[in-house]
Structures are given as C-alpha cells and as structure tokens.
Amino acid sequence: MQLHLAIRFATAPTSNKPERPNGYMDVQVAPGLKQATAEKIVRGLNPHLDVGERIRVLAPVFRFRPSIDGIAITNNRILGFSSYAMPGKRPAISIPLGDVEGIDYEGKLSGTRILVRLSNGSTVRLGTVAPADVSFVHTAFAPIRAGQSTGTSTASPSTASAKKPTRKAHRAHRNLVATFPAVLAAQNRAQHARGPSRECLRLYWLVSSF
C-alpha cells in the first residue's frame, strides 16, 4: 500500500487596502475630512515637505482664489493646498511658523474664516472652515498662538458659533438672491447711459458678501 501525502502551506491573507502613507499615524485629522481623503492628501504633500518636516494637522477649508480646499500644519509651516492639484503642484500657501504673529477668526454665514497675522504686518486668509470643524481648528492653532507674545484670537469658537446663520437669515439671503436679477434688469432698462443706482450697488454688495 502506498500513501500519498499532500502538504499545503498556508499563506497569510493579503489585504486589498493600500498601505498608509509614511507619517500618517501622527496626523490629527478634522472631523469633516474622510480618512481616505486624508491619506491621499498626505501622499500628495509628502514630496513637497522639507527634510525632517512632518504633517501634524489636516483640516478642510474653502477658498476661491487661490483655489484651496485644505490646510496642513507641520512642525515648520502652515500650508494651504488644493488636493486636486497634488502632487504635481506645490501648496499655494506656505507660512513659516516663526513668521506667525497671531490667528484671527471671522464668523460668516458659510462658516468661520481663518486669518493669519504675520510679523511683517500683513495678513493671509487661509480659507473658511465649516462649523463642525471650528473647534478642532481652534485647538490645532492654539499652540502656535501660545508661542507668540502678541498672538491672540479675536473670536473664540463659541463666538464664531454664535454667529451661525439663523433660518431667518438664510431665508432673507435666498429672497435677496432671487430678486436681484429682476432689480438689475429694471435698473438697466431705466438707465441706459447712466451707471447703476446706489440702491442697486448696495444690493449687489449684499449678495456678494454672503
């Protein structure tokens, strides 16, 4: 009688998930940023980091010009970037932490705007943060402000949250936007050679300021 033994070596199951980028485990991610998106951003930013530079914080923001949809705080800089432009393009905003004089917050209908005051007297607008991420961003920037002798915030997260738009404000804004084209058309018909009236300019300013 002959015995035939078949030996099979078990192999560890392979995962289809991609490996996390280098340094990702040390990154604090805002609640409004998905994990997959955060990992993609880290991969895109890594080629643009200096030697020894590490990403500490990631948060989504919005700014139209230059186009920015995220900010990162590293151990050396504050970066503003477009995730769609990476890794081909460098971050549109790069601020050395040593140049930061303070961080200010402005409450808007769409969220809270972040302003970075520099030691040379200029101000850089990072973008607008959604209400859900305001507290996270404020905490992330707190060590930077604490390291500056004059770095103070003009509005705390609670103050910014208090400025969140009410339903009445949203309704007024929608009505304003809806009626503006008709007002502008009537103004153009009434004044062919003259410029827009003061009321029309004021209405346009109100619409564009939201």
Spatial separation of the C-alpha atoms in residues 49 and 60, rounded to whole Å: 19
- The pair of structure tokens assigned to 148 is 């500056």
Instruction: Give domain status of residue 17, yes or no.
Output: no
Q: Which of 23-32, 154-163, 199-208 bottoms out in mean pLDDT, i.e. has the lowest?
A: 154-163
DSSP 8-state code for residue 98: G
Instruction: Give domain status of residue 93, yes or no.
Output: yes
Instruction: Give domain status of residue 194, yes or no.
Output: yes
- The pair of structure tokens assigned to 143 is 């060590």
Number of domains in the chain: 2
Percent of the chain with pLDDT over 90: 47
Instruction: Give domain status of residue 130, yes or no.
Output: yes
Instruction: Give domain status of residue 97, yes or no.
Output: yes
For residue 82, what is the domain's CATH number?
2.30.29.30
- Which pLDDT tens digit goes with each residue over 157-199? 333 333 444 554 445 445 544 544 554 455 445 444 454 444 4
98: domain range? Answer: 24-162
- Which pLDDT tens digit goes with each residue over 40-98? 999 999 999 999 999 999 999 999 888 899 999 999 999 999 988 888 889 999 999 99
Spatial separation of the C-alpha atoms in residues 115 and 102, rounded to whole Å: 8
- Which pLDDT tens digit goes with each residue over 108-148? 777 899 999 999 999 999 999 999 999 999 999 998 865 54
